[in-house]
Amino acid sequence: MQVESMGVCDVIIIGAGPAGTSAAAVLAERGRRVIILEKDSFPRYRVGESLIPYCWFPLNRIGMIDKLKASAFTKKYSVQFVGKSGRVSQPFYFFQHTEHDCSTTWQVVRSEFDRMLLDNAVEKDAEVMMPAAAKRLLYEDDRVVGVQGVLEDGKPFELRAPMTIDASGRDLFAVKAHDWRVDDPQLRKVAVWTYYQGARRDTGLDEGATTVAYIPGNGWFWYIPLPEDKVSVGVVAERDYLYREGKGDPDAIFDREVANQPWVREHLTGGTKLGPCRVTGDYSYRSKYSATDGLVLTGDALAFLDPVFSSGVFLALQSGVLAGEAVEAALAAGDVSAERFNDYSEHLCSGIEAMRKLVYAFYDEAFRFSDLFKKYPDLRPDLTDCLIGNLEKDFDPLFSAIAEFAQVPSALPHGRPRVTSRTPAGGG
Ligand SMILES: Cc1cc2nc3c(=O)[nH]c(=O)nc-3n(C[C@H](O)[C@H](O)[C@H](O)COP(=O)(O)OP(=O)(O)OC[C@H]3O[C@@H](n4cnc5c(N)ncnc54)[C@H](O)[C@@H]3O)c2cc1C
């Protein structure tokens, strides 16, 4: 079939999730011609509804805060934890830690949130091809120079640009093409989730709180209040634990775990399940490389961490903005070689490592935050900073202390640019 040429732009972005649209907003604002390829038609479903406070900063950078304030998304002021017995911790209110505007965040419906982010990028003159799926990267001398894709009617097309940003989420477009996926072996979990209408919500300030409720078997439930009296509720644990009775269908697994967690059971009583459970598994990974000449990876297309601390959308927005800025600098310098993305990658990987260490501690059966704070009360603000996404800090004192109680993993060595000897690579 004839491949139609769609011409040349400055930057191709694969994927219109939070990572792709925040990168697009930054670049379009700088006057770059940006084309986003999105394989689905919006609105499209996505899990990942709970934002953390530091989402505020990338959202503010791309001009989204007033739009979110005007939205009907549930306001989130706190997180609370529920023990296996059903005992509820004091809610942790973000405004007790910081007086900044970011201490109010949101529980979002992703189909609407992602649409708002896409509209925001389009308002800044980003162009969108949707549905249009990227199928393969185009190379010249080992440098990515564009994308071949297909339109809804199956017609192939070719688009060229000095830079491509892979923001394809857990589809892992570039990672799969190059076999770059490296799993995080100790975070092999399965998530089973659904939505309820009319389930119990707390009142007042706590109405929008995220609840993390522990279950036996080293797992947990999320309970996220959404607009229109809905809640997102899911269970995460080891595959062997969830599937201990054999194959099992996801709804039976979900119902069994609900029956065993008193707080979740009581909150769901009286609510109506809105559909069958969804399942995903083995989702913690990081790409071997973050960039190659002419290509940079962002959001879940680069790395994904267990969702226990709701870090995914934050990391997607943050990496999208940072990638946008790094791509702008590369284009301005006329050099799109992989090295240009060293600082971007170091910055992101060090933030992801802090969250990752905390995730490991969370899953360590021997670890209790209360034990840590009994011995080191001064470290409470550091922990809070990590949880809300303030990842610029030096967390060495925190993790040295945690290492006395739990296994703290060493940093993963990968996730940096794939540097070749040929430099610089022309930026058009
Ligand atoms: C069980 C679970 C619970 C979670 N809970 C939370 C939470 O509470 N809070 C939180 O912050 N995060 C959560 N997350 C993580 C969150 O969902 C992701 O981190 C976030 O969506 C990443 O954004 P992204 O832009 O990188 O990717 P996505 O949002 O996945 O967007 C990628 C886009 O790329 C498109 N695409 C893919 N391939 C192609 C292609 N070849 N061509 C064109 N387009 C393509 C897709 O259609 C999609 O629209 C959770 C994740 C899981 C699995």
**Which 3-state string (H, E, C) describes 343-394?**
HHHHHHHHHHHHHHHHHHHHHCCCCCHHHHHHHCHHHHHHHHHHHHCCCCCC
Round to whole Å and give the CA distance between 105 and 52: 6
Tokens 């990227």 belong to residue: 134
**pLDDT for residue 163:** 98
pLDDT at 427 exceeding the cut of 70: no
Position in ligand 1 atom list of the atom nearest CA 301 = 26
Position in ligand 1 atom list of the atom nearest CA 210 = 8
Listed in sequence order, the residues at least 6 apart from 336 whose beta carbon sits closer than 8 Å to its beta carbon are 143, 162, 163, 293, 294, 327, 330, 425, 426, 427, 428
Domain assignment present for 156:
yes
- Low-confidence winner among 20-24, 185-189, 259-263 (lowest mean pLDDT): 185-189
Are both 159 and 206 inside the same structural domain? no
* Residue-number span of the structural domain to which 223 is assigned: 189-281
Position in ligand 1 atom list of the atom nearest CA 311 = 11
Whose CA is closest to atom 4 on ligand 1? 48
**pLDDT for residue 160:** 98
Q: How far is the CA of 380 from the centre of ligand 1 (A)?
A: 31
Are both 334 and 295 inside the same structural domain? yes
Whose CA is closest to atom 50 on ligand 1? 48
- What share of the chain in percent tops pLDDT 90? 87
Position in ligand 1 atom list of the atom nearest CA 304 = 19
Mean pLDDT of the chain: 94
Count of alpha carbons within 13 Å of 92, Cβ hemisphere only?
A: 19
pLDDT at 326 exceeding the cut of 60: yes
Are both 303 and 380 inside the same structural domain? yes
Average pLDDT over residues 167-174: 98
Average pLDDT over residues 94-117: 97
Domain assignment present for 80:
no
Whose CA is closest to atom 15 on ligand 1? 312
Distances (CA, A) of 172 to 37, 118, 161, 270, 302: 14, 20, 20, 39, 8
Are both 304 and 274 inside the same structural domain? no
Q: Which of 264, 281, 298 is the last residue of a domain?
A: 281
From 21, 37, 47, 127, give the residue whose CB has the most ligand 1 atoms within 8 Å, as the site to mutate.
47
pLDDT at 166 exceeding the cut of 80: yes
pLDDT at 426 exceeding the cut of 70: no
Are both 175 and 194 inside the same structural domain? no
pLDDT at 224 exceeding the cut of 70: yes
pTM, rounded to two decimals: 0.97
**pLDDT for residue 425:** 59
Residue 245 — very low, low, confident or very high, per pLDDT cuts 50/70/90?
confident
- Of 183, 171, 179, 169, nearest to 135 (Cα)? 171
Distances (CA, A) of 228 to 74, 82, 225, 231: 9, 24, 9, 9
Average pLDDT over residues 235-254: 90
Residue 424 — very low, low, confident or very high, per pLDDT cuts 50/70/90?
low
Q: How far is the CA of 22 from the centre of ligand 1 (A)?
A: 13
Whose CA is closest to atom 39 on ligand 1? 168
Position in ligand 1 atom list of the atom nearest CA 320 = 25
Residue 127 — very low, low, confident or very high, per pLDDT cuts 50/70/90?
very high
Round to whole Å and give the CA distance between 293 and 425: 7
Q: What is the CA radius of gyration of the chain?
A: 22
Listed in sequence order, the residues at least 6 apart from 205 whose beta carbon sits closer than 8 Å to its beta carbon are 77, 78, 91, 93
Domain assignment present for 103:
no
Domain CATH for 386: 3.50.50.60
Helices (H), 305-341: 312-333
Are both 36 and 117 inside the same structural domain? yes
- Of 127, 160, 132, 122, nearest to 38 (Cα)? 132
From 168, 211, 286, give the residue whose CB has the most ligand 1 atoms within 8 Å, as the site to mutate.
168
Instruction: Return the SS3 of 139.
Output: strand
Using an 8 Å Cβ cutoff, are 59 and 42 in contact?
A: no
Are both 272 and 344 inside the same structural domain? no
Are both 299 and 275 inside the same structural domain? no
Domain CATH for 268: 3.30.9.100
Are both 124 and 198 inside the same structural domain? no
For the four alpha carbons of 107, 112, 118 and 124, in that order, the dihedral sign comes to negative
Average pLDDT over residues 20-39: 98
Residue 354 — very low, low, confident or very high, per pLDDT cuts 50/70/90?
very high
Q: How far is the CA of 421 from the centre of ligand 1 (A)?
A: 34
Q: How far is the CA of 324 from the centre of ligand 1 (A)?
A: 18
- Of 186, 182, 422, 428, nearest to 297 (Cα)? 182
Q: How far is the CA of 17 from the centre of ligand 1 (A)?
A: 6
Pocket-forming residues, ligand 1, beta carbon under 6 Å: 14-20, 37-40, 46-50, 133-134, 167-171, 173, 191, 280, 283, 299-301, 307, 310, 312-314, 316
Domain assignment present for 294:
yes
Whose CA is closest to atom 18 on ligand 1? 312
Token duo for residue 218: 């080293």
CA angle 21, 413, 295 (to 5 degrees): 35
Whose CA is closest to atom 7 on ligand 1? 48
Length of the chain: 428
Average pLDDT over residues 348-365: 94
Are both 170 and 22 inside the same structural domain? yes
Q: Which of 250, 281, 312 is the last residue of a domain?
A: 281
**pLDDT for residue 421:** 65
Distances (CA, A) of 153 to 40, 129, 260: 13, 13, 49
Residue 274 — very low, low, confident or very high, per pLDDT cuts 50/70/90?
very high
Are both 347 and 397 inside the same structural domain? yes
**pLDDT for residue 210:** 97
Q: Which of 281, 307, 335 is the last residue of a domain?
A: 281
Q: How far is the CA of 240 from the centre of ligand 1 (A)?
A: 25
Beta strand 105-107 with 74-76: parallel, antiparallel or unpaired? antiparallel
From 36, 37, 39, 305, give the residue whose CB has the most ligand 1 atoms within 8 Å, as the site to mutate.
39
Whose CA is closest to atom 17 on ligand 1? 48
For the four alpha carbons of 153, 158, 161 and 165, in that order, the dihedral sign comes to positive
What's the number of domains the chain is made of? 2
Q: What would the pLDDT profile of 147-156 be if each residue is shown by its tens digit?
A: 999 999 999 9
pLDDT at 423 exceeding the cut of 60: no
Position in ligand 1 atom list of the atom nearest CA 133 = 42
**pLDDT for residue 282:** 74
**pLDDT for residue 1:** 77
From 300, 321, 322, give the residue whose CB has the most ligand 1 atoms within 8 Å, as the site to mutate.
300
Are both 67 and 119 inside the same structural domain? yes
